[in-house]
Amino acid sequence: MKLRLIVGELYHYFDCKFYNKEFKIVELKNAHIITDFLINVHKDFNLQSINHQFIFKYLMFQYDFWNDQEITGFGNHTRLGTIFSKKGYLRFQKALKNDKFSWYNAEKTLQDKYGINRSFLIRYRAKQKRDLTILSVDEESEKKIFEDGDVQLVHCIDSTTLFNHVSEVCMACPARVKCKRLLKVYYRSIYIDRGYEANIKEESSAEQVI
């Protein structure tokens, strides 16, 4: 199940960062816990809307909670059953309905203290063997958060795989030229996969003429 793998990968990322361990994907011994968690989520959300961003938000809440508890009894590992427990999920549901809970502060705390950030999703995704020329639903929503093109560009650097000519949002963005240049710098392989390799060859030929 692809969704279960996504949950497992992000869980390992958070746990390794939280305990300052080298990040690596290992086989989960109690994968059924994630399956049970997803069944519970399905009762409250449309599973098709559950993506990397949703799981990141869930894990961000859980690890922020345990960070506030200052519990040291876990050693160097937080059990899968603790993070995806029914109690944990209920706490998450309450936080979603609580206007006073600051998601910004929770994310900033984890980023400043443990180096946990959303850009990992993009870097990790870029390394995977998947077709990055196809539009991603969650990325498209990230591209429409800010009206100011330059402000949105900064957000897109952290939250998307940047310019894609197939995207109507990208084609209408005033920062699309800058974004395409940054794509070549940050994700050269994606730049080529999306059919922009000719641009690189043209630039090389122009440099030789000069």
Kindly report which listed range (32-36, 93-97, 167-171) carries the lowest average pLDDT score: 32-36
What is the CB neighbour count within 10 angstroms for residue 114? 16
Same domain, 128 and 161: yes
> What mean pLDDT do residues 59-84 have?
82
pLDDT of residue 203: 47
Same domain, 100 and 10: yes
Same domain, 126 and 104: no
pLDDT of residue 207: 39
Same domain, 59 and 145: no
> What mean pLDDT do residues 43-59 have?
78
Same domain, 48 and 25: yes
Q: Which of 99, 117, 135 is the last residue of a domain?
A: 117
CA proximity to 135, closest of 103, 186, 171? 171
Q: What is the pLDDT of residues 8-44, one digit of tens each?
A: 888 989 999 998 888 776 677 777 888 888 888 888 8
pLDDT band at 50 (very low <50, low <70, confident <90, very high): confident
Total domain count, the chain = 2
Same domain, 41 and 128: no
- Domain, as residue range, for 82: 2-117
Q: Which of 89, 117, 145 is the last residue of a domain?
A: 117
Residues in the chain: 210
pLDDT of residue 130: 56
pLDDT of residue 173: 95
pLDDT of residue 189: 79
Can you state the angle between helices 86-97 and 52-69, rounded to 10 degrees?
A: 100
Query: Is the model's pLDDT at 193 over the cut of 80?
Result: yes
Q: Which of 91, 117, 143 is the last residue of a domain?
A: 117
pLDDT of residue 208: 41
pLDDT band at 64 (very low <50, low <70, confident <90, very high): very high
Q: What is the pLDDT of residues 105-143, one digit of tens each?
A: 999 999 999 999 877 766 666 655 455 667 777 678 889
Same domain, 93 and 127: no
Query: Is the model's pLDDT at 2 over the cut of 90?
Result: no
> What whole-number distance in Å separates Cα of residue 120 and Cα of residue 135?
19
Same domain, 96 and 137: no
Structure tokens at 142: 């990230």
Same domain, 112 and 9: yes
What is the CB neighbour count within 10 angstroms for residue 30? 12
Same domain, 112 and 11: yes
User: What Rg do the C-alpha atoms of the chain give, in angstroms?
Assistant: 19
pLDDT of residue 209: 36
Same domain, 101 and 141: no
Same domain, 168 and 102: no
Percentage of the residues of the chain whose pLDDT score is greater than 90:
25
Query: Is the model's pLDDT at 165 over the cut of 80?
Result: yes
Selected residue with higher pLDDT from 146 and 202: 146
